[in-house]
Amino acid sequence: MFTESAELYDLIYSSIRNYAAEAEQIASLLRAMHPPRHTIPDVACGTGEHARLLVEQFGYDVDGSDLSPDFVRIARTKNPAGRFTVADMAAFRFERQYDAVLCLGSSIGYLRDLAVVRQTFECFRAHLNATGVVIVEPWFSPGVLESGYRSTRTVETPAVRVVREQTTEVIDRLSRLRFDYTIETQGQTRYASELHELSLFTVAELLATFAAAGLDAHHDEYGLNGRGLYIAKIAA
C-alpha cells in the first residue's frame, strides 16, 4: 500500500486526477437519482480529498474508512465533521445506514479474489438505506495493462520535489506496480519503494458479484476518468 508515500499522495495524485471535476461528477450523479442523496461513507477514502470537496462544495454529510492509519489521520484533518476510521473495506462498520456508498480510486482492485469482493459488496449493501446507491470505481480489466510498462512522474513545490518511477508487471490475473521514489527536501534526498498488487476482474465478473451480493448494478464504461464506474442499488 502507500506506506512510504501517504504524506506525498495529494501532491502526486493532484497531478494525475482532477478531484474537483470528479467530485462535481459524483454530486451530479447523486443529484440525478431520486430521492436526493445526502449521507455517504467514502470507503477506502485515501486522504479524504473527494470527501472534503463533497462536503465543502456540495453540502454532503460524509464519513469514511481506510486501511491506512496515515490516510485516515490526513482525512480526519480535512474532514473534522465526519467520522473517519481505520477499517478493512470488506468489514467496516458504521452505526447507521446511508444514502450512498462510494468506493473510488480503483481501491476495489486491491482485493485478491471475487469471494472477498462479494463480502465487500455485501458490507456496502448492509450500510445502505432501502433506496440507497453504491458507486464503485474499478481497476483495469484483464488485457488492458502490459508487463514492462514504465513511466516517470515528477511533481514539486517550493518545499519538496518527488520523482516517482513506475514499473508494471502482469502475472495472469494480477497486476504488480512497483513505485520507486526519489524525494528531495531541504537539501536532502531519500529513496523509497512500494509494491502495489491489484487484481484484474472482468466487467462480467464484477456485475455477477454485485448480483450475488444482492445488488443490481450497471456499468458505465468511461466513468470519472476512463476506468469505468459501477452504479448499483439493492436488488428488488
For the segment 47-74, the average pLDDT, to the nearest whole number, is 97
pLDDT for residue 34: 85
Separation of alpha carbons 206 and 45, rounded Å = 21
What mean pLDDT do residues 120-138 have? 97
Average pLDDT over residues 108-131: 97
- Domain range summary for the chain, segments of one domain joined by +: 6-141+202-234, 150-199
Q: Identify the CA nearest to 141 among candidates 56, 98, 203, 188.
A: 203
**How many angstroms separate the CA atoms of 194 and 112, rounded?**
18
**150-156 and 160-171 as β-strands: parallel, antiparallel, unpaired?**
antiparallel
Q: Average pLDDT, whole number, for the chain?
A: 96
pLDDT band at 36 (very low <50, low <70, confident <90, very high): confident
Q: Tell me, what DSSP letter sits at residue 139?
A: -
Quote the pLDDT of residue 235: 97
Please give the C-alpha separations between residue 10 and each of 47, 74, 75, in angstroms, as whole numbers: 7, 10, 11
The answer on pLDDT for 75 being more than 90 is yes
pLDDT at 1 over 80: no
Report the pLDDT averaged over residues 166-184.
Answer: 97
Of residues 166, 164, 162, 175, the one with CA closest to residue 227: 175
Section 20-33 average pLDDT: 96
CATH architecture of 150-199: Single Sheet (2.20)
Q: What is the mean pLDDT of residues 70-83?
A: 97
- Are 3 and 194 in contact by the 8 Å Cβ rule? The answer is yes
Average pLDDT for residues 143-162, to the nearest whole number? Answer: 95
Cell, residue 73: 489521520
Q: For the domain covering 6-141+202-234, report its CATH number.
A: 3.40.50.150
Of 47, 151, 21, the C-alpha closest to 107 is 47
- The pTM score is 0.96
